[in-house]
Amino acid sequence: DVNAMVKKFDKDTRKADKMERKNAEMLRGIQDFDDDMSMTSVNTMSSLQSVNMPSSSGGGGMVTVEAKYFNQLKSQVVKSKAKVQRMDKQIAFVKGICDQIVNGVKQELAEVEAEKQKLETDIMDIMTGTSAEKREMEEEFDTKLDCREETIRTLEESLE
C-alpha cells in the first residue's frame, strides 16, 4: 500500500515537472512569436520610411510627386496598417489562448501539488502507525521474553 502511494507520488511529481517544462516552452514560444511580429512591424515601417520619392524639380523644399505614385504609396501604407492590425489581433488571440492554457496548467499543477501533500501526509501517517505497532510488538515480545526468563529461573531453582 505504501509502495503504491510512493509510486503514485513519484508519477505525479514527474507529471508536474513535465507540465512546468511544457509551460516554460510555451511562454518562450509566445515571446519569440511576439519578438518576430515586432521585428516584422519595424521592418515594414522602416521600409516605408526609406522610400525615395522622385523629385521633378531637383531642388530643396517641397517635392512634387505624381498622383499615381502618391496613390501607390498611400495604398501601401493602408495595406501595411491593415496587416499590422491583423497581426496585432492574431497576437492577442494567440496570447489569450496561451493564457487559458497556462491557467489550466497552473490549476492542474496546484491540484497535483495538493495531491502530493495529501500523499505525503498519508505516508507519514502510515509510517507513524507502523512505528507505533512496532513499539507495541516489541513491548509485547519483551514482556513474553521476561516471563519466559522468569519461568526458566523458577524451573532452574526448583531443580536445584
pLDDT in tens, 79-113: 888 888 888 888 888 888 888 888 888 888 889 88
> Are residues 64 and 57 in contact, defined by beta-carbon separation less than 8 angstroms?
yes
**DSSP, res 50:** T
How is residue 91 written as a grid cell? 497576437
Dist CA 85 CA 74 (whole Å): 17
SS3 call for 5: helix
Q: Is the pLDDT of residue 36 over 50?
A: yes
Dist CA 6 CA 43 (whole Å): 55
The three-state DSSP-derived secondary structure of 92-149 is HHHHHHHHHHHHHHHHHHHHHHHHHHHHHHHHHHHHHHHHHHHHHHHHHHHHHHHHHH
pLDDT in tens, 7-28: 777 787 788 778 778 777 777 7
What is the per-residue pLDDT for 38? Answer: 61
